[in-house]
């Protein structure tokens, strides 16, 4: 268990995050002074399943110079190392010429207990992945194989996507609006703060629906 995650605790936290939304979490990170935790706007759900939560299992790959390159052994070792409950998060070194994730990767990762994938690159086999009801967030669609175009180099290391540095074990939450990364040590604190926002906004929303003036509702709940 490379991350040393308490599965029972993580499942409880994961379930609570899945009741929230990225906006509330991002706002609480901003308030705490962490203003670069939202992944670039292009990282969005490409599957029908569009919510994912769990500690990050990170990976880094780069474009390769030769079509003879073969990263199979590294790929197999990586997949065998995935811990249950995690989200697979990949930086691709700027690769734009292939799919970096597909149905076979999804199947293998899911069998290891991985709850979804966030890829700063391409995805393919979406019909098959949708049939699995498996969430994959990516940058683009592409049919081309990564073999001879892109190699997995390292995993369970700090990576960077856009302006966000992601460490193994940082908490990943994604929904229809995008993906936010919560630093590992702040996972519980940001969750509690976001739950407070969610509760206040729910109360404000109900009062607005009843016709309460927005100034009065804001004065009561302090949410917007």
Q: Distance (Å, rounded) from C-alpha 29 to C-alpha 26?
A: 5
Contact 168, 3 (CB under 8 A): yes
pLDDT in tens, 5-51: 655 568 899 999 999 999 999 999 999 999 999 999 999 999 999 99
Tokens at 68, concatenated: 């003879």
CA distances in angstroms from 90 to 30, 156, 160, 214, listed in the order given: 24, 10, 9, 42
- Among positive and negative, which fits the CA dihedral 104, 107, 110, 116? positive
Mean residue pLDDT across the chain: 91
* CA nearest to 161, candidates 151, 172, 150: 172
The pLDDT value recorded for residue 209 is 79
The pLDDT tens digits for 173-189 are: 999 999 999 999 999 99
Is residue 151's pLDDT more than 70? Answer: yes
Looking at the chain, list the stretches that DSSP marks H as alpha helix, in order from N- to C-terminal side. Answer: 7-17, 22-31, 72-81, 103-111, 126-132, 187-209, 214-221
CA contacts within 13 A on the Cβ side of 137: 30
Output the pTM of the full model.
0.89
Longest Cα separation, the chain: 67
CA distance 36 to 89: 17
Give the strand pairing for 122-123 and 159-161: unpaired
Domain ranges of the chain: 7-182
d(CA 56, CA 14): 12
CATH class of the domain comprising 7-182 = alpha beta
d(CA 125, CA 102): 5
pLDDT (0 to 100) of residue 1: 39
Buried (b) or exposed (e) across 90-123, using 16+ Cβ within 10 A?
A: bbbbebeebbbbbbebbebbbeeebbbbbbbbbb
């Amino acid at each position: 268990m490379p991350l040393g995650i308490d599965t029972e605790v993580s499942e409880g936290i994961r379930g609570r995050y899945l009741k929230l939304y990225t906006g509330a979490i991002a706002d609480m990170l901003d308030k705490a002074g962490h203003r670069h935790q939202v992944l670039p706007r292009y990282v969005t759900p490409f599957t029908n399943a569009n919510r994912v939560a769990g500690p990050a299992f990170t990976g880094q790959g780069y474009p390769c110079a030769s079509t003879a390159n073969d990263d199979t052994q590294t790929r197999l070792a990586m997949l065998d190392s995935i811990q249950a409950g995690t989200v697979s998060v990949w930086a691709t070194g700027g690769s734009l010429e292939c799919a970096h994730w597909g149905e076979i990767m999804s199947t293998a990762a899911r069998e290891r207990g991985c709850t979804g994938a966030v890829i700063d690159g391409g995805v393919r086999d979406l019909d098959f992945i949708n049939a699995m009801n498996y969430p994959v967030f990516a940058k683009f669609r592409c049919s081309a194989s990564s073999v001879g175009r892109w190699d997995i180099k390292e995993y369970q290391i700090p990576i960077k996507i856009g302006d966000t540095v992601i460490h193994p074990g940082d908490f990943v939450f994604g929904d229809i609006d995008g993906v936010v990364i919560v630093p590992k040590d702040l996972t519980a604190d940001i969750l509690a703060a976001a739950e407070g926002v969610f509760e206040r906004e729910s109360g404000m929303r109900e009062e607005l629906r009843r016709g309460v003036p927005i100034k009065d509702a804001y004065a009561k709940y302090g949410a917007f």
